[in-house]
Amino acid sequence: DARHVEVQVIADNFGNVWAPGVRDCSIQRKNQKVIEESSSPLLTAEQSNHLRSVSAELVRAAGYRGAGTVEYLYQPEQKTFTFLEVNTRLQVEHPITEATTGIDLVKLQILVASGEPLVGDCPPEFGHAVEARLNAEDAANGFAPAPGAVQLLKFPLGSGLRVDTGIAQGDVIPPDYDSMVAKVIAWGRDRSEALARLRTALRETTVVLQGGTTTKSFLLDLLDREEVISASADTGWLDRTDAGTSNVPSRTADVALIAAAIDVYDAEEKLEREAFLSSARGGRPRAGHAIGRKVELSYQGQAYALTVTQVGAHSYRVDGDAPETEVEVDRLSEFESRLVIGDRRHHVVSVAGRAQYLVEVDGISHQISQDEAGVVRAPAPAVVVAVPVSVGDEVEVGATLVVLESMKMETAVRAPVAGRVREVLA
C-alpha cells in the first residue's frame, strides 16, 4: 500500500535551498510513472512541510548544487516515510511543480549553475496540478510499443492547460527509443478541477500514428477510476488490476463499428469506381450492380456482419447485427469526421491499417479488424523472441502466441479467440 512521493529541490552556491513542492507519483505501471500530481492528496500540510524541510536539509548537508528530486515511499497506515534516492536532475513531471508555484525550474537551474543566488523566499504552492504521460504504446496488447510516423497532431488549448512535446506532424517516432509523445498537464483551483481539465484536455488531444497508436484511451479510463478520483491508488495498484486494458466494450463501441464499416464501404466503392473507369478506357465498361455491401468486422474477439448502403451524398444506412441505423457523415479531414446518428453527434478519428482500423470515438479508441479468418499479426515492427505454439496446437482466448521485443520491452501477442494453430509465419 506504499505511495511514491517526492520533493523538488534546488540549491545555489551560497547555502540557499528551495523545496517548492511535493509530488505524488503513485500511479505507476511496472515502476514507470503514468500520472503525477502536486501536491500530494494524501499528505497533510504538516507532513508536506516536514518533508520539504528534511529534503532541503539533506541536500544542504550533502553540499549539493542545482536542481534535484528527493524521493520517498510513504506508508499511510504507519504514517512513515522511507528515503529512496536523490535524482540529480529535473524529473519528467517537473511541470506540475511549475504549475503550482509559478517557478520556471529550467531557467532557475541555469541561473544557479551560472553562479546566481536564490533570492527571497521560496514561492508557496497554489491550486493543484496533474500530469499524464501520453506514450506510443498499445495498452490493449500489453503496452506493446506502437510507434510510427505522425500523420496528425492536435493538442488542446484552454485555461490551466499545458502540453510539453518534442514532436511535430510529419516526424517519426522510432521503435528504438523512448515512446513518449507528450506530457499533458492541467492546473485547477483544486484537485477536482485539475482532474476535470485533464480529462477534457486528453479528449481534445488527437494523435494519428501511421501503423501505431497511443495510450490516450488508457489514460482516460484511469481518470474515471474510483481509485484515482479518491486518491487511494498505491504504487502496485495498476499492476494488480486490469484498469484501462480489460476487454470491456465501451459505450461508443457501436459507433466505432458503424464508422469502420462505412470506411470499408467507401474504400471498396473507390476501388470499384477505379476498376470501372479502367475498363471504360478499354472500351468495355463493367459496373457492379449490387446495392449495399456486406462488411465483416471483428472487435474484441467478436465477429460482426454489417450491411452498408449509401443513400445520399453523405448519408448511409447500416444494418445487420444491430437495428437499422441512419448515419450522416461529415468528413472534416483525411482522418477526422463527424457522425450524426439520431440525435447523437460524435467526433471520430479513423485510421486504416493493414486489415485493421483504429477508430477513436469522442476520445475513446477501438481496434477493429476486418475478418481475416483468424490471422493474428504483430502489432508493430519488433524482434521475435519466442513462438511458444506449434501448428496443430489448440489455444484458448488470451493464450500467448508470440513474444516480441521492441524498445527494450518484451510483449506477448495473445489469441483474440480460441482455436487451432493452422500456420506460423515468423
- What whole-number distance in Å separates Cα of residue 122 and Cα of residue 98? 12
Task: Let me know if residue 247 belongs to a domain.
Answer: no
Q: What per-residue confidence (pLDDT) applies to 335?
A: 92
Tell whether 245 is covered by a domain: no
Q: What is the pLDDT of residue 300?
A: 81
Confirm whether 404 is domain-assigned: yes
Quick one: cell of 142? 500489453
Query: At 350, which amino acid appears?
Result: S
* Cell numbers describing residue 362: 469522442
Q: What is the dihedral sign for C-alpha 34, 35, 37, 43?
A: negative
Cα 146 from Cα 212, distance rounded (Å): 4
Specify if 17 maps to a domain.
yes
Peptide bond into 39 cis (omega under 30): yes
Cell numbers at residue 109, please? 537551474
- Residue 168, pLDDT score: 95
The CB-based long-range contact list for 104-108 (8 Å cut-off, 24+ gap) reads 105/8, 105/10, 105/67, 108/10, 108/67
Mark which of 219, 240, 261 sits at the end of a domain: 240
Is 233 found in the same domain as 325?
A: no
* 204 in a structural domain: yes
Q: Is the same domain home to 400 and 365? A: no
CATH of residue 284: 3.30.700
- Within this chain, do residues 279 and 225 fall inside the same structural domain, yes or no? no
Domain that holds residue 306: 253-370
What pLDDT does 412 receive? 84
Kindly give the parts of the chain with pLDDT less than 70. 242-249, 276, 283-290, 321-322, 354-355, 371-374, 379-380, 407-408, 426
Residue 411's CATH number = 2.40.50.100
Instruction: Give a yes or no: residue 295 inside a domain.
Output: yes
Same domain membership, residue 21 and residue 165: yes
Residue type (1 letter), 152:
L
- Nearest to 366, CA basis, from 256, 202, 219, 239: 256
Residue with grid cell 468486422, as numbered in its chain? 297
Model's pTM, two decimal places?
0.81
Give the pLDDT confidence score for residue 248 in this predicted structure.
52
Q: Based on the domain organization, do 169 and 287 belong to the same domain?
A: no
- Asked whether residue 259 falls in the same domain as residue 189, the answer is no
Q: Do 353 and 268 belong to one domain?
A: yes
- Number of domains observed in the structure of the chain: 3
What CATH number does residue 102 fall under? 3.30.470.20
DSSP track, 219-269: HHHHHTSHHHHTT---TTHHHHS-TTTS----TTHHHHHHHHHHHHHHHHH
Residues 173 and 118 in one domain: yes
C-alpha cell at 112: 544557479
Residues 96 and 39 in one domain: yes
Question: Residues near 111 by Cβ (< 8 Å), separated by ≥ 6?
Answer: none
Give the Cα separation of 333 and 341 in Å (integer): 19
Query: Whose grid coordinates read 477508430?
Result: 359
User: In 3-state terms, the chain is what percent helix, strand and coil (to 5)?
Assistant: 25, 40, 40
Tens-place pLDDT, residues 248-272: 557 788 999 999 999 999 988 888 8
pLDDT of residue 249: 55
What pLDDT is attached to residue 422? 83
Answer yes or no: do 202 and 89 share one domain. Answer: yes
CA atoms within 13 A on the CB side of 376: 27
Specify if 378 maps to a domain.
no
Both 296 and 387 in one domain: the answer is: no
Whether the Cβ atoms of residue 366 and residue 375 lie closer than 8 Å to each other: no
Whether residue 395 contacts residue 421, with contact meaning beta carbons closer than 8 Å, is answered with: yes
Please tell me whether residues 330 and 234 are part of one structural domain. no
Return d(Cα 289, Cα 287) in angstroms, integer: 6
Whether residue 397 lies inside any domain: the answer is: yes
pLDDT for 245 equals 58
Indicate the residue type of 173: I
Q: Which pLDDT value is given to residue 345? A: 95
